[in-house]
A and B are shown apart, each in its own frame.
Chain A
Amino acid sequence: MSKLRFRSMVLVGSVAVAVGLPLLGHWLRRSEPQRCAFDGLSIESHFRVIVRGPDSEHHFCSVHCAERWLEQPGIVAVEIMVTDESSGQPVEAADAWFVRSTVTTNPINRNRVHAFRRREDAERHAHAFNGEVLTEKSHPFQSRLSN
């Protein structure tokens, strides 16, 4: 095999690997479940928070991560949806009741804030797990919702 032919084969092979490997990785990850936009944790459906901006939508694993995301400069939220832990249904953050209790939603970020659609469910959770129902002043998204 001539030197030129060998070099051409190395060049073509290198380009194929350099382009093919990222493409393969991208293709294999196409069906991966959505992860939290803030810390990359997998999202459990009962704790999902969705923040919609003017032209984007981000999903979070917990209220804590959504709060931290919204603290970043330049972030605009048009709508914030939390998940009612009792039913698993989405509910607007402005209409939800939040409880800070001893129960963590995941061991990594140790989020202790829980969202409920109905006040009775929130109070029941607070009573059962030594928590407190958050008032308007301590509402997780108060600053965003009042804008």
Chain B
Amino acid sequence: MLNHSYAVLLAFVAVIRLVLALLLIIQSIRLLRTLHRRQLAPIPSTPSDRYYFLALSASLLLTLNLTSWPLFYALLQRFVSEAPGIMCIYGVTRIGEGSLGPTRHLPLLIAILQLSKPLLVFIGGSWGHLHILNVRSATEPLLKKLVYIAVLFATAAVLDATVELIYLSIPKVGESMSSGCCTVDRGDQFLPSGFLEGGHEPMLYAFFFGGIAALIAAIWIVTRNTRSVPSTLAASAVFLGALAVTAIGVVFLVDVAAPRLLRLPFHHCPYDLPMRVPESLVTIAIFIAGNMCIGWLWTTRAFGTHSDTMPQMPAYLGSLARIAIWCYGVSTLMLAVEMALA
């Protein structure tokens, strides 16, 4: 329920996002109709005039979505101190399991929000990069695509804000807690388990650090020529590689990094890291930023192709690639130092 400041703030942001996203959908539909009419017969008003208002709304929505992501985790962290028998956010994600009331939906709602937050930033960022490329070109050739992506972005934001408001409206205190990370029922403590059985650590080390090195090399190879645009196939391959390394990274984080950094060999809980090893949050954030850059590189290449945008494309994709390489390099070095010190 809205019983403290973070919940009120998050609900406020969610309502603004919801209204803004609905407004964005209406603006997009109107602009699409204008664009369609213009194709049938030329009309005096230019669609790009309307587009700039839409772009302003989308930019604001992107900023609010980005803000709501850490706010959401700040709220979950706040619940840790309020709910009895819970030690970290993992315990909060398990509130409601096994209950019969509306509280039983809480774990699913949290799971949806944990996925939708980064996805929203990714879609919004994709729109933002295409928008920049479009503005830099003389004829604004990506206008129609941008409006379609804005509709997708706004629809995702509506769903996310709605789920968030539902989550906030369901009471969490006073319901029985299921066993979670240091949440206990019947005196039987449960700890989050790793993905793999013991004995796979050397393999995970090799896969994770080797994967990062291969990914950095692949990004460099694909974007090293500053005069030509990498093929969509190459950009897609790099993006798939980044997703694969991220999947390995999640397993590595839970199975190897978290127990080592926390100095708790049987404690496979990454949610504890920001509290106990705060600098690991910076490491994870930089790694996610690298992934986002590779994702945006792919969407920009795949959806931004036009004869008018091609002159700017190599330099633009090169910048994204360099930022991604920096993010992967710095986050991996930080992780290696943190693990060496632990």
Contact = CB atoms under 8 A, between A and B. Distances in A.
Interface of A: 10, 14-15, 17-19, 21-26, 29, 35, 37-41, 64-65, 68-69, 72-73, 107-112
Nearest to A111: B187
B326 interface: yes
Nearest to B269: A40
B198 to A, nearest CB: 8
Contacts of A111: 187
Contact of A39 (B191, B330, B338): B191
Contacts of A69: 266
Interface string B38-64: 000000000000000000000000000
Nearest to A108: B182
B87 A19 contact: no
B131 interface: no
A14 B189 CA distance: 42
B333 A19 contact: yes
Nearest to A112: B187
14 contacts: A15-B333, A17-B330, A25-B277, A25-B279, A26-B338, A26-B341, A35-B263, A40-B264, A64-B187, A73-B198, A109-B182, A109-B184, A110-B187, A110-B189
Interface residues of B, number: 31
B337 A22 contact: yes
A64 B188 CA distance: 9
B182 A41 contact: yes
B184 A108 contact: yes
B87 A23 contact: no
A15 B337 CA distance: 11
Nearest to A17: B330
A40 B262 contact: yes
A139 B334 CA distance: 45
Given A21-B334, A39-B189, A72-B265, 6 more contacts: A10-B326, A26-B341, A35-B263, A35-B264, A73-B198, A108-B184
B311 interface: no
A39 B279 contact: no
A41 to B, nearest CB: 7
B282 interface: yes
A39 B264 contact: yes
Contact of A25 (B182, B189, B263, B278): B278
Interface in B267-300: 267, 272, 276-279, 282
Contacts of A14: 326, 329-330
A18 B267 contact: no
Contacts of A73: 198
Contacts of A35: 263-264
A22 B87 contact: no
B85 A107 contact: yes
B337 to A, nearest CB: 4
Contacts of B334: 18-19, 21-22
A111 B187 CA distance: 7
Contacts of A37: 263-265
B337 A18 contact: yes
A6 B87 CA distance: 45
Contacts of B210: none
Interface in B177-223: 182-184, 187, 189, 191, 198
Nearest to A113: B187
Interface in B113-135: none
A64 B189 contact: yes
A24 B184 contact: no
Nearest to B198: A73
Contact of B330 (A18, A68, A107): A18
B333 A18 contact: yes
Interface string B314-342: 00000000000010011001100110010
B98 interface: no
